[in-house]
Amino acid sequence: MDAKRAWIEPEHGQISVQRQCELIGLARSSWYYQAAQETPYNEHLMKLIDQQFTETPFYGIRRMTAWLKTQGEEVNHKRVARLMRKMGLEAIYPKPNLSVPADPDNRYPYLLSDVVLKAPNEVWSPDITYIRRKCFDNRKLGHLKVGMIDDFLTISVTQLG
């Protein structure tokens, strides 16, 4: 839908927005729609949830709701679930079928199997799974995606040699 919205040219002199929407099969209300912003209270709750999740990543929705209530916040589990889902947070717990091996096509090879390490600092391996950062719009705290860091490290290694 965002791709279709990008095709609309509101300043076009010959074709109206209504006709452009008809031509590409986009409802005109979709062109004018703007998503509602989170309330300041929800932003406050998201910050609290993020701070607590950093300390206790095993807290799920129920435990996070109980913790927020001990902090004096009036919330229910449905709001906490929505905010955690929006932030991409999920409690760490044992998932089913952990003993089943992964699909061989999706496995990453161990690149150091034939390397003999003779001295310290020959091989480095950073833990980049969870790095806090500020979002680009400086409104709320978020998390870097592992893919972004992987791309950054790959570019750095190729440029620096």
> For the segment 23-76, what is each residue's pLDDT rounded down to a tens digit?
999 999 988 888 888 999 999 999 999 999 999 999 999 999 999 999 999 999
Q: Are residues 153 and 136 in the same domain?
A: yes
Residue-wise pLDDT for 136-150, tens only, equals 444 444 555 556 666
pTM listed for this prediction:
0.52
Q: Are residues 160 and 139 in the same domain?
A: yes
The torsion of the CA quartet 49, 51, 53, 56, rounded to 10 degrees, works out to -130
Q: Are residues 47 and 81 in the same domain?
A: yes
Domain presence at residue 130:
yes
Determine the structural domain holding residue 152 and report its residue range: 126-161
Domain presence at residue 46:
yes
Cβ atoms of residues 96 and 116 within 8 Å: no
Domain presence at residue 55:
yes
Q: Are residues 75 and 44 in the same domain?
A: yes
Domain presence at residue 113:
no
pLDDT bin (cut points 50, 70, 90) of residue 110 is confident
